Structure 1
Amino acid sequence: MTESKLLEAAVAGDDRAYAELVEPQRGALHAHCYRMLGSVHDAEDAVQETLLRAWRSLSSFQSRSSLRSWLYTIATNVCLRAIERRPGRVLPIDYGPPADPHRPLGEPLVESTWIEPYPDERLDLDDGLAGPEARYEQRESVELAFIAALQHLPARQRAVLILRDVLGFSGAEVAAALQTTPASVYSALQRAHETVDHHLPELSQQATLNSLGNARLREIVDRYVQAWERHDVGAIVAMLTESVTIAMPPTATWYRGRETVAAFLGARPLDGSLRWRLTPTRASCQLAARADLWDPATGSFRPHHIAVLTLRGGLIDEINTFHEPWALTSHAPEGDGCRRGRS
């Protein structure tokens, strides 16, 4: 059935026609809500609410805009309401100062504080920009640095930047979605650019990954995996920039500098007392490795963390190790999801 026929049937109350109508939009809507909220789970809740609201108000959709635009309008406003009810999300580096590696790790924070990595297998993004109005590439827009930069924006500025610069909506479409004027949209967009540009690195991860090529990337992640499994701190340190950081959500503890990170690794996870098994993967369209830890009590490996690697040149500049159970169960082995179209 064509979209118009599906829409006609859905308006008449056919829930299966409605499901077929909106299903092609679900993945992109989820990525949109993730950009707004910084949380995979909050994004899932927002998508469910969006599709429920759209179903209940489908009779009011008069095709004055595209179905895509209408759904994004609903999703954006659902996210804006969610942001009002929840604290902002950050990475540990934006939460507090770096720690001393010789002091105990901080306790995990109970509240939902941390940005979550996006599972690549949920993504099926095209190369390049979403449209001629967009400024940021699709894969670039789920990188950890980009999501962290977005969280520094007031909610409506965040919505304007995502709708305009990531999704490629026109100023008039963004104004209609937010019930404001195009002049207000462009004013908010200018302020958003100033904030985001201040927090983003000079090169996106996509630019770095593309410059290195697939063979070099495979070498980097394989070296990291093998060094971690061997407890070879020296080999890992040789892969790091001088200003490298390592963070461990849900604790607020993080460390900066090659020597400090080496001291932490040698004193804690890689002191030789633990048995690790690592698997290359992808998360947030970045290199990553899933780490499983041997449990003598059960005689098997159990999930421990997923390490998302941020590269600068051919070296690792950030290691964000996410320890929450959802992060370990929602990331498939490398090869799915965020496909890179050029090398």
Structure 2
Amino acid sequence: MTDIEAQLEAFRPELTGYCYRMLGSGFEAEDAVQDTMIRAWKGYQGFEGRSALRSWLYRIATNVCLTMLGSAQRRVRPMDLGPAGSGRATDPGEPRPEEIWVGPVPDEKLFERADPALVIAERESVRLAFVAALQLLPARQRAVLILREVLAWSAQEVAELLETSVPSVNSALQRARATIAAAEPAGADVYRPLDEGQRELLARYVAAFEEYDLAALTALLHEDATLSMPPLALWLRGHDDIAAWMSGTGSGCRGSRLVPTVASGLPAFGQYRVAASGDGHEPWALIVLEITDGRIAGVNNFLDTAALFPLFGLPPRLP
């Protein structure tokens, strides 16, 4: 790796986080950052240090994201598309295209800090609910909010990056704040590996799920907990419907095994169901949990394991 490449690569994790917040997709974020790196490498000789390298890279990344967003529809979560369904449904409907969903991203792609406290603070701004709320904003407002509120850039720095005025940046920020406040993105505790209460809750979740003890499992859920399954639009709310689904249509998950990971700042698991042949376990879902007040408020099952498990470095099967 050349010295120039090493300088650019040092910014890859934070640029991936920025592009993920902008685009709502881990895959698109990686594509955007790779495009940014290629453009930066090609244009490095003309850069000549006229501005800080970090600012220059963010300018390129912002332009890449704005271009990508110009032809894309807003990414959503199943809860954004309609009311909760019935846990007794036998037909969850046809899968929707991947391009419409807010998706998870591996934490290891975003954070390379030695200080765990800084990592925990940064996880707050990549939570699924917050990233979904960001998608409500027009693209330039989204960039302003992320740069000002998440990355703590000054209004002058953002104005220079977006080639606009400070008053315009401040106005965009006010409108963006109002939209996010009205959306009221659900709060969730980020993954805290040293938090004893969270560790105990997750251990109980794994035991209950792998034993398929639905009474023990629902006891860990908030009364109005949600269950979603992108790319399916069907989602459920509450103990009764979640238990009905898991004991009925979802009963094929009995005998599953879970492998821990971290997705979008939240505790997560690769779920492996018993293989049809009976030999070992095969990928079924990436489960991302949202925890509030010591209980599970959201269970997000992302079913596109062919794409997600390699992204998260999860094994292709369990023996």
Q: Same fold (TM over 0.5)?
A: yes
For the pair 1:317 / 2:317, whether they are aligned, the reply is: no
- The residue aligned with 1:192 is 176
Q: How far apart are the structure 1 equivalents of 2:60 and 2:254?
A: 48
For the pair 1:48 / 2:34, whether they are aligned, the reply is: yes
Mapping 1:1-343, distance limit 5 Å: 16-103=2-89, 104-122=91-109, 123-125=111-113, 137-201=121-185, 203-206=187-190, 214-270=195-251, 274-297=254-277, 299-325=279-305, 326-331=307-312
Is contact 2:5-2:41 (8 Å) kept? no
TM-score (norm 1): 0.84
Q: How far apart are the structure 2 equivalents of 1:33 and 1:90?
A: 16
The 3 A distance-change label for structure 1 pair 274 and 311 is: closer
Unaligned runs of 5+ in 1: 1-14, 131-135, 334-343
Per-residue deviation, 1:85: 1.5
Query: Per the alignment, in what secondary structure is the counterpart of residue 255 of structure 1?
Result: strand
Q: How far apart are the structure 2 equivalents of 1:40 and 1:55?
A: 22
Greater Cα offset, 194-203 or 24-33: 194-203
1:260-283 CA distances to partner (integer Å, 9 max, x unpaired)? 111111112237x74211123221
The 3 A distance-change label for structure 1 pair 188 and 35 is: same
Query: Per the alignment, in what secondary structure is the counterpart of residue 270 of structure 1?
Result: helix
Is contact 2:211-2:254 (8 Å) kept? no
1:46-72 CA distances to partner (integer Å, 9 max, x unpaired)? 111111222222233242321001100
**Which consecutive aligned stretches of 4+ in structure 1 deviate over 4 angstroms post-superposition?**
125-130, 201-204
Identity of aligned residues (%): 42
Q: How far apart are the structure 2 equivalents of 1:201 and 1:111?
A: 22
Is contact 1:246-1:255 (8 Å) kept? yes
Greater Cα offset, 54-63 or 32-41: 54-63
The 3 A distance-change label for structure 1 pair 129 and 153 is: farther
Count of residue pairs the alignment pairs up? 310
CA RMSD between the two structures? 2.2
Is contact 1:228-1:270 (8 Å) kept? no
Q: How far apart are the structure 2 equivalents of 1:154 and 1:128?
A: 31
1:279-338 CA distances to partner (integer Å, 9 max, x unpaired)? 2322111112221011132612111111111111011111101111222233357xxxxx
Greater Cα offset, 291-300 or 145-154: 291-300
- The residue aligned with 2:317 is none
Per-residue deviation, 1:218: 1.4
Letter in 1 for 2:213: D
Is contact 2:129-2:187 (8 Å) kept? no
